[in-house]
Structures are given as structure tokens and as C-alpha cells.
Amino acid sequence: MSEKPTTRFTHEEICAILPQQPPFMFLDQAELTGDEVNATYLIRGDESFLKGHFKNDPVFPASIVFEALGQAGCLWVLHNAPERLGGPISASQVLFASMDGAHFYRKSRPGDTLVLKLKLAQLRKPLAIFRGNVWVHDKRVAEIEKVVLAFGMEAPE
């Protein structure tokens, strides 16, 4: 049985692939192995939204934690799906479609490194379905039973 190759991406390489860009990029590095994505994001504390979330007690928003998981899924789709599905996918056509079973367990704060783990559950054009978890220091921060990304569809006029 052969090992699945791992492809590693730096922040700069991720920015070259994804449509999301700083300051709305929440992946510092990523590794893709088969149907899995492992990525990290260091909460620096200078993210503009932390000034108001919450005053004098910055907490990284749960919605942004789930956004980071979505970005990890988007990276997987753009890197792996074209080969599996036999055709190119435009970065501007990968969109969040839905999520189910999203649970948030603990706060994350500046100085924490989010460890994002995402696994493909199903790929069938025009959808990629993932499940994922987020950890900080071996403590579960969040999980999502299903995040659905749509791709390769033209926007209605």
C-alpha cells in the first residue's frame, strides 16, 4: 500500500491560489494529503475586527473560525478537484453553499494558533462536502459536520 503524497503550501502560495486575500485570509500554511487538509492560522491580535470583538477582551469570532475551514476546503477544491473531475475550476467560482452541525466549544484569542483539520466527505460536480475540526493546544475549539462548497457554476444574470 503506497503512502499518499503530501503537498505543502506557504502563505504566499495559498494567496496565489485562493480568491480570498489579506486581510481576509485565515490560512498561514497548509498541507494536502489525499482527501485531507491540515492548516494553521496564528491569531496575531492585529486583525481589525478584534478591536470590537470584544472591547478590551479580544476573542476570535466563531464565524471567522468557520471561514478559515471554508478557505481550507477551497484550497483543496482548487488544487485537487480539477484533476479528479477532468476540468479546470475558476477560483472566482468556488463559493460557500451551506454548513450543518457547526459547534463551537471554546474561545480562541491573540497568540493562539488554530489547527484546522478538514476531510473530504463527497465530491461531485458542482459540490464538495467536507467535515472538519479546529484545535488550539490539543483542545477542541470547533467542529463542523458538513461544509458545502459549490464550484464551476456561472452566476445567474
Question: For the domain that residue 37 is a member of, what is the CATH number?
Answer: 3.10.129.10
- Please give the angle made by the CA atoms of 143, 144 and 146, to the nearest 5 degrees: 160
Note whether residue 28 is domain-resident: yes
Q: How many domains does the chain have?
A: 1
Element (H, E) at 99: strand 95-104
Note whether residue 1 is domain-resident: no
**Which residue in the list 53, 79, 103, 137 is annotated as catalytic?**
53
Strand partners, 84: none
Cβ–Cβ under 8 Å, residues 134 and 61: no
Residue 118 has pLDDT above 80, yes or no: yes
Is residue 19 classed as helix, strand or coil in its secondary structure? Answer: coil
Q: Residue 110 corresponds to which cell in the numbers above?
A: 491573540
The pLDDT-based confidence of 133 (bands split at 50, 70, 90) is: very high
Decide if 53 is catalytic.
Answer: yes
Note whether residue 155 is domain-resident: no
Q: In what order do the strands lie in the sheet with 139-150?
A: 6-9, 29-33, 36-42, 113-124, 127-136, 139-150, 95-104
The pTM score is 0.94
Note whether residue 19 is domain-resident: yes
pLDDT in tens, 87-102: 999 999 999 999 999 9
pLDDT in tens, 41-91: 999 999 999 999 999 999 999 999 999 999 999 999 999 999 999 999 999
Q: 59 lies in which domain range?
A: 6-150
pLDDT in tens, 22-42: 999 999 999 999 999 999 999
Strand partners, 36: 33, 119
Distance CA 13, CA 124 (A): 26
DSSP code for 86: T
Element (H, E) at 147: strand 139-150
